[in-house]
Amino acid sequence: MSVLFIADLHLEVERPDITRAFLHFLQTRASRAEALYILGDFFEVWVGDDAMDEFQRAIAQALRQLADRGTRIFLMHGNRDFMLGQGFCREAGCTLLREGSVIELNGEPVLLLHGDSLCTRDESYQRLRKRLRNPFSLWLLRNLPLSTRHKLARKLRDASRMRTREKAAEIIDVTPEVVPQVMAERGVRTLIHGHTHRPAVHKLLVDGQSAQRIVLGDWDRQGWALEVDAQGYHLAPFPLG
């Protein structure tokens, strides 16, 4: 059996084409997989498990149906849905993964990240990320009035889009020299992440040994999935329609 990895679906009511493609993906490829890993930015925005709407609950129900059929599901925070919590995971039948989790694939350790922590040249974003991910900040955010959380989420989303438009491409991409450092620290030769929306398989050296960084694609004009089986790693797009 295979293991599937996806990221950056940015699910929202306004993109029914992505939702339809995802539900079809669950009913077909994911139902034949041993496990499905979703590495962040699953939703376009998430303001709290207590604020789940009908659309989000329908997604949770679809995941629960997949889990009930035997596929293990793992979910990691992204920069858009970092407030997603155990309430959603219980409803969806999935396990919330820590950023920087290491799993075993084909007998080797593999590091999983959303990917934004690798973009260290974007210093203003890293400062904001550190503040927002602080446990006390998260507690404050989750206890704000719902209307305030929605306003803050719109502000953060607009700021993210502005940052993408205005900053140089190399600033919002991963810092190349950071990647082998992180991989060496974690003792891995394979890293899988999303966030940058630049799907590719990058070959590199880690402590003098051949290694690879696999970047998952976003679901916008097409879908992307990484499939890992006994033959290796297979990253490929597929049509949304």
Binding site feature residues for Mn(2+)? 8, 10, 41, 79, 114, 195, 197
Residues 126 and 70: their CA atoms lie apart, in Å, by 38
Beta-carbon contacts of residue 54 (< 8 Å; ≥ 6 apart): none
Residues 193 and 225: their CA atoms lie apart, in Å, by 12
Judge residue 196's burial from the number of C-beta atoms within 10 Å of its C-beta, 0-12 exposed, 13-18 middle, 19 or more buried: buried
Q: Which amino acid is at 178?
A: V
Tokens encoding 102:
């290491």
Within the chain, residue ranges assigned H as helices are 16-27, 54-68, 86-92, 123-133, 135-142, 146-166, 169-172, 178-186
Side-chain half-sphere exposure of 140, counting CA atoms within 13 A: 8
Residues 152, 163: contact at Cβ < 8 Å? no
Task: Mark the binding-site residues for substrate, compressed into ranges.
Answer: 79-80, 122, 160, 164, 167, 195
Bridge partners, residue 210, by sequence: 205
How many C-beta atoms lie closer than 10 Å to residue 220's C-beta? 15
Task: Mark the binding-site residues, compressed into ranges.
Answer: 8, 10, 41, 79-80, 114, 122, 160, 164, 167, 195, 197
Bridge partners, residue 224, by sequence: 237
**In the block, which residue shows the tokens 């490829």?**
29
